[in-house]
Amino acid sequence: MRINHGFHATMNAQPGKGDEVVALLLDAPSLPHPDCVVFLVGRSAGDPDVVHVTEGWTSPEAHAAFFATAPAQALVAALQPLLAGSAYSDEVPVGGKAF
């Protein structure tokens, strides 16, 4: 499956909330979605409240359609009070190894 759209996000959790952010992301409704072909969650080795997410989607349209759904909006709503800030950058995964 070809990846044509993606991003990398760095999320700064509220102090002590990094585990909750990671748990929500690892249960994200995008994981089983067929158009989401890359979904990696990581965290800073030096600060457990800094969480990284890399996503790769088949198309920008598939990503936008998914994020308009109720489950995706519920995830966003659940994450918001746990975050002190976040930064997103355009990134299209091209290969590598996750595990």
* Domain spans of the chain, in order of start: 5-88
pTM over 0.85: yes
CATH of domain 5-88: 3.30.70.100
Q: How confident is the model at residue 18 (pLDDT cuts 50, 70, 90)?
A: very high
pLDDT digits (tens, 9 = 90+) for 42-83: 999 999 999 999 999 999 999 999 999 999 999 999 999 999
Task: Yes or no: say if 13 and 52 are a contact pair by the CB < 8 Å rule.
Answer: no
pLDDT score of 9 more than 80: yes
On the question of pLDDT at 97 being above 90, the answer is: no
Please name which of 43, 34, 97 lies closest in space to residue 62, comparing C-alpha atoms: 34
Tokens 């070809």 correspond to what residue? 2
